[in-house]
Chain A
Amino acid sequence: MNDPLADLVVRAQRGDMSAFAQLVAQTQNGVYNLAYSVLHNHEDAQDVTQEIYLRVWRALPSFRSEAKFTTWLYRLAVNTCLNKRRQLRAQLNVIDSDEVLQSLTATDKDPLTVALDKERATRLWAAVDRLPEKYRLVIGLFYQEQRSYQEIAEILSLPVGTVKAHLNRARAALARSLGQDQEGEDVSM
Chain B
Amino acid sequence: MSLCEPFRRQLPQYVADGEPLEAAYNSLREHLRVCPSCNAFAERLRLVEGALRTYPSVSPVPDMAERIMQAVSSESQTRQEEWQILPWDVWVPVLAFLLAVAIALMSIPADLLSAGAAPEWGTVVIHLPRFLNAWLGSLQIGEGQFWAIWIGIFAAMAGVGISLSLSNWTPEHSQSLDRLETRVTDMATRLWGHGRRVH
Contact = CB atoms under 8 A, between A and B. Distances in A.
| Chain A partners chain B | yes
Interface of A: 13, 17, 20-21, 24-25, 28-29, 32-33, 36, 42, 45-46, 49-50, 53-54, 57-58, 61-62, 64, 117, 120-121, 124-125, 128, 139-140, 143-144, 164, 167-169, 171-172, 174-176, 178-179, 182
Contact of B68 (A50, A64, A176): A50
B189 interface: yes
A11 B64 CA distance: 22
Given A32-B60, A62-B189, A175-B48, A25 B55 contact: no
Interface string B81-115: 00000000000000000000000000000000000
Contact of B67 (A45, A50, A58): A50
Contacts of B49: 171
A46 B58 CA distance: 11
Interface stretch (B39-47, B126-134, B162-170, B173-181): B39-47
Interface residues of B, number: 40
A175 B45 contact: yes
B138 interface: no
Interface of B: 8-9, 11-13, 15-16, 40-41, 44-45, 47-61, 64-65, 67-69, 71-73, 75-76, 189-190, 193, 196
B69 A28 contact: no
